Amino acid sequence: MTLTDSLLTGLECRRCCTTLPADRLVGSCPTCGHTLFATYDLDRARELRVWERFPERDRTLWRYRELLPVQQEENVVTLGEGGTPAIRLVELPELPGVELWLKDDGEMPTGSFKARGMAVAVSRATELGAASLFVPSAGNAGLALAAYGARAGRPVRIYLPEDTPPEIPRICRMYGAEVVAVPGTIREAGETARAREKGSGGFDLSTLREPYRVEGKKTMGYEIFERFRDSRMPDAVVYPTGGGTGLVGMYKAFQELQRMGQLEHFPRLISVQMEGCAPVVRALDAGEAAVRPWEHPHTVAPGLLVPAPFSSERILEALRETHGSGVTVADRDLPEAMERLGKLHGVSAAPEGAATYAALPALFREGRIRAGERILLYNTGSGALWDTAALRRQVEA
């Protein structure tokens, strides 16, 4: 048995202040039902100067093992995830003076940033004795769980909206997962999953309904810090928002870095959603504490078709506490954004990641990004499974 030297201390609910030990399999807060977050001995991390150790390790997210929850190295389930590039983009004439970068998680093992969360969540669930795993998904989370569940030797069930592109369930089945098609959006997929799985012994890995997917997602923030710490951090990170775990994770990473004396000023977090499904942006603009479910949600970007993200208070907190903002884009803008990212910058992006690029003109026009700033777009997934011509026909139909 080889220890990871994890500094995990327990679990906490930020809504009702319940605290729990981290030595048992648990989903959401048993007191109020909201998200539980892992806590670490950050004073000890600062004393040990753990950041000095990371550059000597392999460029996977497990280089941050002291600040991740897995206790024994033998329980780490990995496909080499993490360490994705942040690349400088060509300067755009419509954004004069803006220094534009892109963090490309399309290069992850399963083609999206979901590999981060699932690698850590599956590792920890396996370590704590989960016999089987399930998740409702718009696509990429299902792919990631199918792959990491196979790697861990655990049965997996994926609940997908029935109009999910056929490549997704096909690949999930290739990994050995059981796929259940559900009418409606990911909201209905989640309701069906939790009803069917009740009493089955399956462990729910839904977004923010267990403590450890966000721990994998926080490595996004750690990697941004490592890439830019020797020059200067981005002034803003522009992020496509569906379930919102990435925003929560990056904000958690920045908080932990600050506690360890490594980071003074946080980048502004900017949420991008679609005109046909923008519950986070609406709640942010209205000054509301939580989202209201979006009525009649629709968009061609499946990862952004989340009408009522769980634990939305934490998403809004991340945006407000970093002095961030939100913006919407139209479906019709996505095919062109995907093509421009490919032809001008050599980046393959799915519609969700391309939404951040499509949002740039409005963000600049409204003064939310400015000349002289360093702006980082987050591309959450590869465009390899997407045909922009077919997407354009779908948008125009």
The per-residue pLDDT for range 27-76, each reduced to its tens digit, is 999 999 999 999 999 999 999 999 999 999 999 999 999 999 999 999 99
Distance CA 73, CA 3 (A): 6
CA dist list (Å): 308 to 82, 242, 278: 28, 9, 9
The per-residue pLDDT for range 205-223, each reduced to its tens digit, is 999 999 999 999 999 999 9
Distance CA 126, CA 122 (A): 6
Residue from 164, 169, 192, 191 nearest 179 by CA: 169
List residues bridging with 38 in a β-sheet: 11
In a domain, 176, yes or no: no
Distance CA 355, CA 285 (A): 19
Predicted TM-score (pTM) above 0.95: yes
Distance of CA 136 to the CA centre of its chain: 15
**The domain spanning residue 227 has which CATH number?**
3.40.50.1100
List residues bridging with 237 in a β-sheet: 269, 376
The per-residue pLDDT for range 85-127, each reduced to its tens digit, is 999 999 999 999 999 999 999 999 999 999 999 999 999 999 9
In a domain, 193, yes or no: no
The answer to whether residues 135 and 145 touch, using CB atoms and an 8 Å cutoff, is: yes
Look at the chain and report how many structural domains it folds into. Answer: 1
pLDDT bucket at 374, cuts 50 / 70 / 90? very high
Distance CA 70, CA 124 (A): 6
The per-residue pLDDT for range 258-275, each reduced to its tens digit, is 999 999 999 999 999 999
The pairing of beta strand 374-379 with beta strand 99-104: parallel
The answer to whether residues 99 and 373 touch, using CB atoms and an 8 Å cutoff, is: yes
In a domain, 302, yes or no: yes
In a domain, 334, yes or no: yes
The per-residue pLDDT for range 338-368, each reduced to its tens digit, is 999 999 999 999 999 999 999 999 999 999 9
In a domain, 274, yes or no: yes
In a domain, 172, yes or no: no
Is pLDDT at 1 greater than 90 in this prediction? no
In a domain, 79, yes or no: no
In a domain, 307, yes or no: yes
Which residues span the domain enclosing 250? 86-112+213-396
